[in-house]
Structure 1
Amino acid sequence: MGTPEICKSEELCTELLVCQTGGTSTESVTPTLRLQVFGVLHWVVSLGLFLAMDFLLKKAFAAASIEFPSALFGMFCIFSVLIILDYAVPSAAVAMVKFFQPGFMFIQRWLPLFYVPYLVVLPLSVKDIPTPSAIKICLIIVGGWLATLCVAGLTAIGVRKTVKTELLDAEPMEKPSPFSSIEVWAWTGVFLISFVASLFYPTLLGTRAITYFPFLLASTVLGYMIGSGLPSNLQKVFHPIIFCAASAELSAVAFGFLSKSGLDAVLGYYLTNSSSNPGAGDILMGFLGSVILSFAFSMFKQRKLVKRHAAEIFTSVIVSTIFSLYSTALVGRLVALEPSLTVSILPRCITVALALSIVSFFEGANASVTAATVVLTGLVGANFVQSTLDKLRLRDPIARGIATASSAHGLGTAALSAKEPEALPFCAIAYALNGIFGSILCSIPAVRQSLLAIIG
């Protein structure tokens, strides 16, 4: 989806430098091409291994009938391997990080994009919810997000003051390269050509989902590129994720109108949930497992801070998870929201995969409402998390990362880390632990009964 970040080996860099400074222009061509080919192959292999690991883990967990998200397990396994190597053979740990760096940088560059499909198809998820109930849910989402953000962030600060841990600077994290005009024009061309072709030949590539795939993907990518190019002050109010989802939505509206098929039909082809007939959203979401696996490298780079501030991290996650579940149950009862809908929105601050697993413990829960609520919570967090954290004067990356992931899961993590990569490792570990702890809590019958008693 763009020019990859290439991690060059020292030998090839030295060779290129010699060619640039001491050789003729003709002599420099071969090593330069060799460097470029090596870089592309390195990127392909490192990213391919992320995807392969995710695929194999999913297969293994499915075969063993394990419902726990395989990518979270893989993330902790990779992190553990890196920690062991760092202790036993430090050079091997460094080499492993360098090897996966191109794939990691590609994922980080496009991170928010992989969480957008649920936002794009949101109209399909919420259309059956009565308007009064939808308003109540929205109030709970916005108020609950802000309350959970404050609880998680202030708990982290409070625990630090209690244990008197001095805050050290985070390790500098490399930021992905900005998008070039060539990339923007290339994706614009893909969008225009495939949009027109799909109008006249809707089954040109076999099925409508696959035929619509290029222009729907291009519209999503272009929205993210345009949003990323906005001034930083404006991005704090209108995050690139908003433009990304809006761009895909508007393209679907336009195509549905011109083709007379309607918006719902086009969105159905955007996210088909079928591996044999995938849409643009299915391909983007196919990277989510790899995204979670890549978090292990962010955590490893900040391992000293993670170890040093373990008390803040674990305490904040536990407190914020308990607060989120029980406050949602209580507020749902206070505003007279239907019990079945209140149950459905309980895991609003937990990533979709685990949230759906959690509501499966409760009878009468609506999985579509759960997914929609989680996505809307993430959207609110993605759009307002930076400005809110600034107003709360939560400055350090640990408190910002924990508060963001605990209140707005993956979308919030993607939004914050795109601008503050030093907060990503703390987002990653809070993001994972929040889902794990929430799942463990709700698997306990006594906890479920207490939540249902509050809901009424």
Structure 2
Amino acid sequence: MARPSLLIVLLAVSCHRTSGFALRGPVHARRCLTSAPFARRTLCATPRPRAAPTSTRRLIAKHRLSSVPVELSAAEATDVPQAPTPATASSSSGPSLLATGTSFTAIVVADFVLRRAFVRAGIAFPPSLAGMVVLFAGLVVLERAAPKSAEDIVSSLEPGAALLARWLPVFFAPSLVVLPLSPPPSSVNALKLLLLVCGGWFVSLSSTAAVVGALSPPADASTTDSAAPPKTLAPVFRGPFVRGLGAGAVVSGVLAVAGGSGQAPGALLTKLSKPAAQLSLLLATLFGFSAGTRMPRRVSKAVHPVVMCSAVAMGTAAAIGKGVGLGFADMLRSYLTRSRCPVHLGAGDVLLGLLGPSVLSFAVQMYRRRNLIFEDAKQVAAGSVFCASSGLFGTALVSRLLGLPTTLRLAALSRNITSPLAMAICSLIGADPSLAIAIVVLTGVIGANFGATALDALGVKDPAARGLAQGGSAHGLGTAAMVNEPTAFAFSAVSMALTATASTVLVSIPSVRTALVRLALGAAAGVPAAP
């Protein structure tokens, strides 16, 4: 059995030894910017700035965001080039391994405690989402009363949040790996589903941009982001680390086959066969993802790293199953057991279990963007709520009109919601999580490839409208594609989190959930009870 402690070490070491930029937060940036030589040059060269007019706040936000690392949630942060800034160029090391591990563990433990408390209280609302909202609100209130205390808390949680952000796509890969266990749709239904996803994405993108644009003041030319292509930078994961994951997967796979083939030289090797198999599947999943991030951009746009790591995990499961005499389906079932007993957990269960902590860590990212949220609260709130409600009910109506099977109708409802909360919605409405995640990934890939082009064709220039539309319609993958537009990128990250949050809150309301499911399935359809 793959142990969570081993996973923590692997993930933390990867972030500590690869690109340290994603783990360095604003505290590190301030230390570099306030170092004596740099501070003297800066203070002597520029006078103390006056308060900026309201019309230039987005330009200020753009400058502020370009100086502070921005973490994706939802997203799929591996698509984002990790560019060095003046704050990070002077140092190549991020937070210590101990600090990262401590922060990561604190977030995981907090999520575990919340889940246990919600189960005991019989609350159906997703505990990680509730924790995210409470933590964000608490930090905002604390920042008003004791700014230093709020900053200390956020700084201590940032390494763990950055670790989760970097590996976030892997945490929903298990649902794709076990997708072959679900009955495949017919070719006609597959075409209908593709029409629903593509059409739904474009309608969400264009309508959200129109709503936000109608509420936004005319944008100055100076606030428009430049559309220069992103620089080609070093991969997120370095070669030795990726090769180490691959070698570990091969070695543990060989041990699993040797122990499970019936010809093992000792009883110990036989007992280690199943744990070695799950360790091999875990390392293979991580290897496929980290190797996928090193592919050329034109390749990763066609085959996303999540798809690649899922394919590698499937291939590894097939190879080990053949060696130990188990079928492919049996290996996939052992990969993701969905058991609550730690002894029976598979590699996929360990990865999937980190989705909750990832949602909880969104509070740290949202806190760092609180100024954007508050300064443009009207546009942010309107865009997020509109995109969430229209996405849910519009998808329900169109899927019913297209005559899709029940399983596809329910799975498609979360098409534009970032994966961790899409999983929460699946549990509330009784949808197949594997199908739902596959639809989420397809929507994100479409948005990442065509979102900016579509917005240009629609004449959307305002960074707020571009970002809110992209993040709301294509979640984290679409957000990652906006990295060359700094202000729009920040709005997209906020929209991704708030749209998913609003969608989950709506579905968590029993009356709204009943109306949504009946719209999708028909008035006579039964509505799944919340777990």
Same fold (TM over 0.5): yes
Q: CA RMSD in A?
A: 3.6
Answer yes or no: is 1:238 the counterpart of 2:303: yes
Matches within 5 A, 1:16-35: none
**2:125 aligned residue (68, 71, 96):** 68
Q: Deviations for 1:165-212, whole angstroms, at most 9, x for unmatched residues?
A: x9698xxxxx99821222112112201101111112139585865332
Query: Given residue 443 of structure 1, which amino acid in structure 2 is its aligned partner?
Result: V
- Give a deviation string over 1:54-84, Cα, whole Å, max 9, x none: 0000000000011111001111111112111
Structure 2, gaps ≥5 residues long: 1-10, 36-92, 226-232, 261-267, 526-531
Note if contact 2:282-2:348 (Cα within 8 Å) is conserved in structure 1: yes
More divergent stretch after superposition (416-425 vs 95-104): 416-425
Post-superposition Cα deviations, 1:289-340, rounded to whole Å, max 9, x if no partner, equal: 1111111111111101011222222222332233223333333343333467
Shift of 1:355: 2.2
Q: Which amino acid aligns with 2:393?
A: Y
Displacement of 1:37 in angstroms is: 13
Instruction: Give the conservation status (yes or no) of the 8 Å contact 2:287–2:309.
Output: yes
Matched, 1:182 2:240: yes
Q: 1:326 to 1:38 in 2, by over 3 A?
A: closer
Bigger shift: residues 39-48 or 204-213: 204-213
Q: Does 1:388 align with 2:444?
A: no
Instruction: Measure how far apart 1:398 and its partner are.
Output: 4.6
CA contact (8 A) 1:358 1:442 kept: no
Contact 1:272 1:282 in 2 (8 A): yes
Q: For 2:305 and 2:483, how far apart are their aligned partners in 1?
A: 10
Between the aligned partners of 2:300 and 2:137, the Cα distance in structure 1 is: 36
SS at match of 1:110: helix
2:292 aligned to 207, 227, 249, which one? 227
**1:103-142 alignment to 2 at 5 Å?**
103-127=160-184, 129-142=185-198
User: 2:87: which partner in 1?
Assistant: none
The aligned amino acid for 2:206 is C
Deviates more, 1:327-336 or 1:199-208: 199-208
Residue pairs, 1:220-299, within 5 angstroms: 220-275=285-340, 276=342, 277-299=344-366
The 2-side partners of 1:402 and 1:442 are apart by 28
Partner secondary structure for residue 119 of structure 1: helix
Equivalence for 1:192: 250
Moved more, 287-296 or 133-142: 133-142
Q: Distance in 2 between matches of 1:149 and 1:441?
A: 28
- Say whether 1:51 aligns with 2:108: yes
Residue identity in the other structure for 1:355: I
Aligned to 2:473: 407
Partner of 2:125: helix, strand, or coil? coil
- Summarize deviations over 1:136-161 as a string: whole Å, max 9, x none: 33432333233323333443333324
1:160/1:258 Cα in 2 relative to 1: closer, same or farther (>3 Å)?
A: farther
Residue 384 of structure 1 aligns with an amino acid whose one-letter code is: I
Q: TM-score, normalised by structure 1?
A: 0.79
Q: 1:429 aligns with which of 493, 498, 501?
A: 498
CA drift of 1:113 comes to 1.4
Tell me which of 305, 311, 328 is aligned to 2:378. 311
Give the match's secondary structure for 2:246: helix
User: Structure 1 residues 225, 444: CA separation in 2 closer, same or farther (over 3 Å shift)?
Assistant: closer
Q: Alpha-carbon deviation of 1:96?
A: 1.4
Distance 1:437 1:396, change over 3 A: farther
- Partner Cα separation in structure 2 for residue 254 and residue 314 of structure 1: 49
Aligned residues between the structures: 418
Normalised TM-score (structure 2):
0.69
